[in-house]
A = this chain, B = another copy of it.
Amino acid sequence: MDIASLGASINMVWLLVTGFLVMFMQAGFALVEVGMTRIKNANHTMLMNMMIYGIGILGFFLVGFGLMFGGVGALPTLGVDGSVLSREFTVNLFGKSFGLFGLTGFALSGITSMGVIGFFLFQLVFMDTTATIPTGAMAERWKWLAFVIYGFFVSAILYPLYGNWVWGGGWLSQLGANFGWGHGLVDFAGSSVVHMVGGVCAMAGALVIGARVGKFRKDGTPVAIPGHNIPMAILGTFILAFGWFGFNPGSTLAGTDPRIALIAVNTLLASAAGTFVAMLYIWRQQGRPDPGMCANGMLAGLVAITAPCAFVSPLSALVIGAIAGLLVCWSVWFIEWKMKIDDPVGAISVHGVNGFWGILSLGIFADGTYGDGLNGVTGMVTGLLHGDPRQFLAQLIGGLICFAFVFGLSFIFFKAQDLIMGIRVSPEEEVLGLDRAEMTSVAYPRDIM
């Protein structure tokens, strides 16, 4: 053993352990979504969360990873053995080259580097987070077969494409090198790549599938449909907050980068500010705190800090989280009352809206102490408040592209699927409950003897 291989070992241990924490977030999503929906659909919602994990693994292994990272020349931070074969699809515009997707590494073929194989695991569990998000917004009415097909769509195509543009060396990451807009779109751990993609896809899906029976009165007023097990949803929130310590600090891909300490602390502070502000806001609005919105406030703070966590100070993290806590309250109201979209768990607000806020906040608060060389650009990542408006521009463009591309492709996918096979169960099945309509068993059978 030598010093270089020891450093690589520390990085590999860090990468895997944090990746395992992210994997465990699947359980958190499952509990949040099941807890916030009704008892008659509990098995269906739970099983969507479990199967999306399995389906997502298959789709990302066979296709997605290659599309997303098959064009990357070398994975830089895993120490000694991070090279991959590289072949990518690019287009040329304005005399610049724009990478659109990779073309190698499907089913891990040709890859023998353990560094790349570890990196595959880490990226895979991130993808599964995205894939899980729409199962919340579309819960309680999604036809099983349609959901299964969606699972391959998101893991093999939708997530990897936008992911390539930001993390796989694609065109959004090159906005800095190509046009001098800061470091191009910078998204440390996935406010946009993971959360906003999931949230925007959830929005398209919720629009196409429509509101649950009884969600809106004839005059359009929304009716509250409370979830059947709030403590379960809060346990899920704790598991998510726990897993987020894999999500954000793990995204250094390196335990040898001391920045992991600051990243973890910023993650912690934003989650605290988010839940505290959401508690105060609803307390003031409704006269008492709301457990569900406290949970969503914590998650909103976590989503928002995901992009900027490595680039901002602890006090900025507090501010980013606090704003996220407000945003999620407003957004949940706006989406339900003004846009008339039925999102049973608030996934669009938590992940979509705060994902956007996350990448914007990086463009505002990045303090110029980290990120030298990122995306091939010399110098530190610096935001508006520290003097560089160009980074903010890259962030804004990245978010708008995320919305336009993900919404567009998802909407087309769901609409086409709906026309071809129908994505929604019949009203009778929905009223009966999806456990009786589509599963072999209900969630809580009574004692039979």
Contact = CB atoms under 8 A, between A and B. Distances in A.
Contacts of A53: 272, 275
Given A12-B261, A43-B230, A273 B58 contact: yes
Interface in A327-349: none
Looking at A46, A226, A275, A439, the one whose CB has the most chain B CB atoms below 10 A away is A46
Interface string A174-197: 000000000000000000000000
A10 B7 contact: no
Given A24-B242, A444-B228, A9 B234 contact: no
A3 interface: yes
A6 B290 contact: no
A259 B38 CA distance: 44
A54 interface: yes
By size class, the interface of chain A is 35 or more
A118 interface: yes
A443 interface: yes
A365 B51 CA distance: 26
Interface in A216-234: 225-232, 234
Interface in A16-67: 16-17, 19-21, 23-24, 26-27, 30-31, 34, 38-40, 42-43, 46-47, 50-51, 53-58, 61
A44 to B, nearest CB: 9
A8 interface: yes
Looking at A16, A23, A438, the one whose CB has the most chain B CB atoms below 10 A away is A16
A121 to B, nearest CB: 5
A81 interface: yes
B55 A276 contact: yes
A361 interface: no
9 contacts: A20-B246, A24-B239, A30-B235, A38-B448, A40-B447, A50-B298, A114-B262, A118-B260, A228-B446
B6 A51 contact: no
Contacts of A61: 269, 272, 314, 318
Given A23-B245, A242-B27, A291 B226 contact: no
A298 B440 contact: no
A448 B138 CA distance: 19
A218 to B, nearest CB: 15
A114 B261 CA distance: 6
A169 interface: no
B258 A9 contact: yes
A107 interface: yes
A441 B228 CA distance: 11
Given A117-B265, A144-B289, A228-B444, 6 more contacts: A13-B13, A20-B246, A114-B259, A225-B448, A286-B440, A289-B439
A3 B2 contact: yes
A95 interface: no
B57 A231 contact: no
Given A16-B264, A117-B261, A294-B50, A226 B26 contact: no
Looking at A237, A295, A441, the one whose CB has the most chain B CB atoms below 10 A away is A441
A106 B264 CA distance: 18
